């Protein structure tokens, strides 16, 4: 699923702090803000509902006013003033430069590699950034939990120049082996994407409630490169189902700035109010 294509909006207001420490922001806010900062002005960005939309709107309101947002529903270069409730929210169409059919979105925009950045969420991720949004369990035909499925994710993962994955980190989500590869990251390491003919470069960042991971340029395994303020390396390791690699010079993510928090809260508040 594109992040939040299911219930991330609800999650935004419900989440509690992972570290237990009192902080003037919650982890969803931190994830949103960290994601927002990765977006370069002028980039063409394939956005989903929830955190990606919040991050994109925040980026457009601050350092990246020319961010070019495309949603799979067909809205091209849209500039939503409030958080969209669904991937095809009227706000996205009303504020778009144009709205086109889905064949044009997938065949003309996504497939040939026009998209710089695509956002994905997941229920499970492995050390090579492969993700699962299809089911939890041992059998496709008899799943323990059935998830929404691929939506746009499989081809977003394949064709965007960069992919940013947003996911909360835990032993349930960061697993040694995911139950189903819905969308391909780096497969089982270097050369896997090429073997499958995928034109995009794969995951660039995995942004979690613990910190930020990037693939090692050689091995393609995810490495923890930054910790959010107040999170320890031990916590990140503890919440990972594999032997997590940690960068030698690990950074600390900059704390949320006031304007970032203000904008994110304003967006989320308006969205919740809308649904009351």
Partner 1 sequence: MSKFLSLSEAISRYVHDGDTVALEGFTHLIPFAAGHEIIRQRRKNLTAVRLTPDLIYDQLIGAGCVKKLVFSWGGNPGVGSLHRFRDAYQSGWPVKISIEEHTHAGLTNRYVAGASGMPFAVLRGYFGSDLFEQTSNVSTIQSPFTDEKFLAVAAINPDVAIIHAQQADKNGNVMMWGITGSSKEAVFASKATIVTVEEIVDTFQPKFNSIIIPNVLIDAIAHVPRGAWPSYASGYYERDNDAYIAWDAVSKDRESFEKWLADEIYGESGAKP
Our finding on whether 81 is near partner 1 (CB under 8 A) is no
Q: Which residues contact 88 (CB under 8 A, 6 or more apart)?
A: 71, 73, 74, 75
76-109 burial, b if ≥16 CB within 10 A, otherwise e?
A: bebbbebbbbebbbebbbebbeebeeeeebbeeb
Our finding on whether 94 is near partner 1 (CB under 8 A) is yes
The correct pick among 159, 206, 222, 261 for binding partner 1 (CB under 8 A) is 159
The correct pick among 35, 56, 110, 164 for binding partner 1 (CB under 8 A) is 110
3-state secondary structure of 44: strand
**Matching residue, tokens 């925009």:** 109
Cβ distance 257 to 61 under 8 Å? Answer: no
72 has catalytic annotation: yes
The correct pick among 52, 151, 203, 230 for binding partner 1 (CB under 8 A) is 151
The correct pick among 80, 152, 203, 211 for binding partner 1 (CB under 8 A) is 152
Our finding on whether 100 is near partner 1 (CB under 8 A) is yes
Q: Which of residues 185-244 bind partner 1 (CB under 8 A)?
A: 187, 192-193, 196-199
Positive or negative, the CA dihedral 45, 158, 167, 188 is negative
Our finding on whether 149 is near partner 1 (CB under 8 A) is yes
Q: Which of 21, 29, 72, 95 is catalytic?
A: 72
Our finding on whether 108 is near partner 1 (CB under 8 A) is yes
Q: Which of residues 49-78 bind partner 1 (CB under 8 A)?
A: 49, 68, 72-77
Q: What angle do CA 21, 27, 31 make, to 5 degrees?
A: 145
Our finding on whether 138 is near partner 1 (CB under 8 A) is no
In this complex, which beta carbon is closest to partner 1, that of residue 77 or of residue 201? 77
Work out how close the CB of 150 gets to partner 1 at its nearest, in angstroms, rounded to a whole number: 4
Our finding on whether 98 is near partner 1 (CB under 8 A) is yes
| 95 half-sphere exposure, CB direction, 13 A CA radius | 17
Q: What residues act catalytically?
A: 72
């Amino acid at each position: 699923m594109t992040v939040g294509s299911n219930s991330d909006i609800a999650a935004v207001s419900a989440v509690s702090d992972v570290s237990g420490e009192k902080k003037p922001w919650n982890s969803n806010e931190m994830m949103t803000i960290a994601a927002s900062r990765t977006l370069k002005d002028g980039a063409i960005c394939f956005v989903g509902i929830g955190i990606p939309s919040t991050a994109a709107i925040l980026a457009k309101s601050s350092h990246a006013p020319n961010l070019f947002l495309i949603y799979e529903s067909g809205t091209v270069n849209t500039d939503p003033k409030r958080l969209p409730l669904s991937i095809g929210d009227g706000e996205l169409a009303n504020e778009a430069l144009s709205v086109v059919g889905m064949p044009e979105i997938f065949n003309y925009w996504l497939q040939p590699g026009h998209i710089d950045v695509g956002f994905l969420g997941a229920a499970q991720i492995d050390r090579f950034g492969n993700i699962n949004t299809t089911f939890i369990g041992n059998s496709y035909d008899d799943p323990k939990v059935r998830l929404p499925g691929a939506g746009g994710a499989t081809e977003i993962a394949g064709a965007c120049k960069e992919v940013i994955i947003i996911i909360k980190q835990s032993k349930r989500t960061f697993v040694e082996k995911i139950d189903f590869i819905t969308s391909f990251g780096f497969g089982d390491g270097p050369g896997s994407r090429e073997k499958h003919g995928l034109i995009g470069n794969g995951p660039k960042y995995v942004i979690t409630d613990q910190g930020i991971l990037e693939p090692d340029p050689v091995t393609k395994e995810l490495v923890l490169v930054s910790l959010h303020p107040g999170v320890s390396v031990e916590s990140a390791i503890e919440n990972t189902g594999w032997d997590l690699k940690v960068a030698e010079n690990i950074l600390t993510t900059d704390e949320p700035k006031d304007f970032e928090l203000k904008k994110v809260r304003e967006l989320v508040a308006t969205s919740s109010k809308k649904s009351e």
